[in-house]
Every structure is written in structure tokens, then in C-alpha cells.
Amino acid sequence: MCGIVGYLGGRNSLDIILNGLKRLEYRGYDSAGIAIYNGDTIASCKSKGKISKLEKSLSKRKNLKGGLGIGHTRWATHGEPNNVNAHPQFSNSNKLCLVHNGIIENYSTIKQKLVKEGFTFKSETDTEVLVNLIEYVKTKEDVKLGEAVQIALNQAIGAYAIAVIDNDKPDEIVVAKLGSPLCIGVGDDEYFIGSDVTPFIEYTKNVVYLEDGELAIIRNHKETFYRKIVDDKIISPTVSRLELSLDKIEKKGFDHYMLKEIYEQPKAIEDTLRGRLNISKGIIKLSGVDDYINKFLSANKITIIACGTSWHSALVAEYMFEKIARIPVEVEYASEFRYRDPVVDKNDIIIAISQSGETADTLAAIKLAKSKGAFVYGICNVVGSSIARESDTGSYTHAGPEIGVASTKAFTTQMTVLYLIAVKLSKSKGIISEKIFQKYIYEISKIGDYVHKTLAKNNKIKKIAKEFKKSKNCLYLGRGYNFPIALEGALKLKEISYIHAEGYPAAEMKHGPIALIDKDMPTIVIATNKINYDKIVSNIQEIKSRKGKIVAIVSEGDKEVKKIADHVIEVPDSVESITPFITVIPLQLLSYHIAVLLGKDVDQPRNLAKSVTVE
């Protein structure tokens, strides 16, 4: 998962590309680079590390000026992060220059062939192989850049979103896509390229989402050709109108995107419910479900596939669907599902959850399920993303752009959509009465308020973070609906503070993890459960008796746990099935404050990227 940016038009492309890369930095930040045709040649500047490092190098360069340019921010797949492996990558003649997001799986075979043809390589990247393959084809077949790219890509196996420019044809960009995202911003006599739309939303609202297997040759002054890579078929793409605005992707006074996005959750949940939950009429409207209600009601089972945090929202959904709608649900890691030849057929429904809509394992799992006849319902946050387009139908979470690598508002809005589906199906199946249905609707309408009230505990949570920032390990425990929240809390802490943390069902602790408990092992316990409250109190006592430190998330007015826990965070009381929306908030804030206290890079943690578009 890297970020690519390009520009062709009358402005100086440097600032457009640099700002565009900053907006895509969440996709990868091991190294970055820019190449611009400056009227004489393609000049480039690359640097290891984040875009701020590239910006420093650029300030010393005066020759990167021109209306044609490409840029790249990298999450390394082949070759360690350094200047040589940074993109853009040049061909041997230095005439062709390319940026790439994805993996060319057969690059070593192609490289061997090119070495035999006399090509040499400076970097360890698959990308340098690709740009030299294009050069080899262009020379050997004596064709233009667009054709050479097409021929070369038909020899490549893997995933790519690329932008290529040619020193001898400085009024053209060629872009192509397979398996990694690529958008074209269509301006007035100018074109923008981006891995998503954020690099160019202030310049144009007109966007073409390139489809898999498509290539575009973009020439100055409107000449643009879109065609299929495989058979050269000319296509006329759909130009979509963007709703996104610039202020949606700015920090707006918060120190980090993650904190902003934690605080945006009440609004994100409200936006996700808008048009779907009608309190006055007492209805839930989800076109993706309404149009296929019989499929849902007659399905053998529902399998939910996802990765990471999205997989945790799938686990919460399992409790919702089985408890509320009495529908059997299986939850699978997409990366496991896709390789185990699952028993799936036309009577199955697959729900695929993905914030980015570009996670390679989830996309591949969807394609496998569809090949077996299953019906796929996608829940994504990025409009027009690959998973959204690959799904048979679905619902968007309207969380707005989530820039922080650690997912927060996407998680709670995913659970919001899943909760709506569970309650809607329960009513359609006649499992719940109209009266109970209305009670669920009322509770759903209050989720945003519950979250808002819980955010008010931020200062207390910040104080608790001070006591645990030096911990080397941390245990998270929860039961029922809150077991997945324990997993999510542990993931949040791991991925931004680099403290090892594990989530466990509370009852499982005595089957091994309790051996970890001592005075240096803090345990975060979610103790709001009504059904198993007394059991979770016993779990806390078991920990206390072994000198473990306890931070407990409890319902307002709790008396029992307060007596035994070291720290208590009181959250609004609600029905059981709503508690996950509430209990995750303190865990998000706790991980955020610990990471900040440790001086970690909260929005761009080491080794991670926002969208894992490689396998």
C-alpha cells in the first residue's frame, strides 16, 4: 500500500504533487519521491523516511518546475526503505519514469530476461523492473508509450496502480490499474492522478475511478484515451461527482488525526444512521438489504470476512445477528478464508467489511466467494473503492475520511450498519415484536449520545494513561459483546504504542493467561456486562489476589467493581447490545494517550499503513 500522485496541466506540478503525497502519507511512509519534467529533462528528488524529509531535500532544489509530474510515498515490499529503492524509478535510458503501488509477482523472471538483454538495475524493486520492461517493449516494438505500457502489463503478474511519463513526450501521462486503487481527477485542461481522491479534491470534483484492467493515456488539452489493457478495447469511463470537501481531511485543531476521528464518532454515527433510521416512522431503511431481503431470509448462513479492526466489528456482529436475529453467523479472517477452499455456495451470504475498501485479502476473498456463487454484501467507508465495486450490493459507513492508521470511527460506524441489519432482519423474520423493534430503534438512535457522554471521560483516561505508559505488556478482558472490544482495545494499544497487548474472553483467563498476572501486568477489564457481571467481578478478584493492576470500564452507578479495581472509568448504562459502541471509546482514548506520552507517531505508526493492498 503506497500512495501515487500525478499532474498534467498548466500549473506548476511540484506543490500539487507534494501536498497530494502528504494526504496519501497514511498509505505508507518509508520513503517518498517526486519527478517533474522541467522543460529540458525529468528531474527527480527522492528521500528515505517521511514526506517532511523529502520536503527538506526539495527546498534545496530549484530545477523541479513544470506542468508534468509524478510522485510516490512508499510502504516497502521489495527492497528496504532507502533513496535507491524510493520511487519514482527510471528506466536505463533515464527517459521513462514510473511510480507504482502494488506488487509485480513475476518480477524476478522478467528481470532475468532484461539482464540478458543488457539492462542493469540499481534498486531491489519490482518497480524498476517494470519501467525497464516498458522501455524494452517500447524500443523493440517501436511503439508509443501507451502501447508499450499495455504490452508490458500483459506480461506482468500481480497488482499495480502505475503512472508513467516519458522524457520524449512531456505532454502525456499513462496510468493503469489492476488490484490497487487509482483515480483520475478531471479538471479544466488539467488532469490529476491519485491513489484516492484526497490529493486533488480542492481542484476538481470530477473523478474517474479506473477499473481493474484499464489503462488511460492522458494528453494535454483533452486528448484522453481509456482502454482495456488485455484487448485494447476503447472504453468511455464514467465521470463521477465528488461529495468530499477539503475541510473533511484536515486536523481542525486536534494534535492528531486519530484524536479528531475519535471525537468525530458521534457525528459519524449520526451520518451513518441518516436516511436509514426513521424514528418518527419507526422504520429501518437499508436498500442493500431491502432489495435482497429474501436472499437474507433464506440464506444457509452469513459469513463475515474482514481484517484487523474490521474483523473485530464482524465479531461483534456475530453476537448481534445470532442474539437479535437468530441467524447463524461465521466470522473469518479474509486472509484465511481465501486460502482454505471454504464450503460456500449460492445459498450463502458473505458480508465483507473494509474501511479502505482496498484490503487485498478481503478483495480476494470476495472474488473467491463470488466464484462459488455466494452473494456479497460490502460495508466500506471509501466510496467507489474496489471492494465496494466488487460487492453485489452493500452499505457505506458515512464516517468521512479516516486518515489515522489506527481505525476508530470506521469501527463504530461499521457496528452501526451491522446493528441496523441485525435488527431489520430480526423484524423481517418475525423474531421480535413491533414493540421490541421500536425499543431497538430507540436505543440505536441514542448511540451517538452515549458515545458523546463517554468522550467526556477523556481527562480521567489521560491521567490513567500516565500510570501505565511504562508497561511492557497489557491484558484486555471482556465477555459476550465485549469480548471483541477487548481484542480491539488490545490492537489499538499494540499498533500505536508498540506495547504488547492481548485481548481475551474474561473466562479464558484461568486457562493460561492468569500465569502472566503480577504487579507489572495491568489488566483492562470491561465490566459493564449485565448477564455475566458477577462472573467478571470474580475474574477481577482473581487478578487482584495475584497483585495485578486493574483498570475497569463499568456502567455508571457501579458499586461492586469500584471497591476492588485500581481505576474505574464509568460509562453510560445501556442495553447489552449497545455496550460495544460505548466501551470501545475509553480503550481508544487510553491507547491514544499512552502512545502520545511515549512520543510515538500516533497517526503513522512504524511498519504500518492505512490500507494493506498487498498480501
| Residues that bind ligand AGP in the complex, under the rule CB under 6 A | 307-310, 354-356, 359, 362, 405-407, 495, 611-612
Q: Is 2 a catalytic residue?
A: yes
Task: Give 195 or 611: the residue with its C-beta nearer to ligand AGP.
Answer: 611
Cis peptide before 513 (omega within 30 of 0): no
In terms of Cβ atoms closer than 10 Å to its own Cβ (0-12, 13-18, 19+), residue 370 is middle
Query: SS3 of 185, please?
Result: strand
Q: Which is nearer to ligand AGP, 359 or 577 (CB)?
A: 359
Catalytic-role residue among 48, 260, 427, 610: 610
CB of 612 to ligand AGP, least distance (A): 5
CB of 101 to ligand AGP, least distance (A): 15
Q: Provide the edge-to-edge strand list for the sheet that holds 206-209.
A: 42-48, 31-37, 68-74, 3-8, 191-194, 183-186, 206-209, 240-241
Question: What is the nearest approach in angstroms of ligand AGP to the Cβ of residue 121?
Answer: 31
Nearer to ligand AGP, 495 or 558 (CB): 495
Give the alpha-carbon dihedral of 200, 206, 209, 214, to 10 degrees: -100
Q: Residue 86 or residue 487: which is nearer to ligand AGP going by CB?
A: 487
**Amino acid letter at 403?**
I
Active site residue 45: no
Q: Give whole-number Cα distances, 468 to 472, 476, 477, 544, 549, in Å.
A: 9, 13, 16, 16, 10
| Closest approach of ligand AGP to the CB of residue 524, in Å | 17
Q: Which residue is nearest to ligand AGP (CB)?
A: 308
Instruction: Give Cα 539 distance to the centre of its chain.
Output: 35
- As a whole number of Å, the end-to-end CA separation of the chain is 10
Q: Which is nearer to ligand AGP, 166 or 495 (CB)?
A: 495
Q: For the CB of residue 503, give the shortest distance to ligand AGP in the complex, in Å.
A: 13
How far is it, in rounded angstroms, from Cα 391 to Cα 388?
Answer: 5
Dihedrals phi, psi of 382, to nearest 5 degrees: -100, 115
Q: Of 2, 45, 307, 380, which is the active-site residue?
A: 2
CB atoms within 10 A of CB 349: 23
Question: Smallest distance, Å, CB 387 to ligand AGP?
Answer: 8
Q: 564: which 3 cell numbers? A: 476492588
Q: Strand 549-555 vs strand 522-526: parallel, antiparallel, or unpaired?
A: parallel
Q: Considering beta carbons, is residue 92 or 611 the nearer one to ligand AGP?
A: 611
Residues annotated catalytic, as ranges: 2, 610
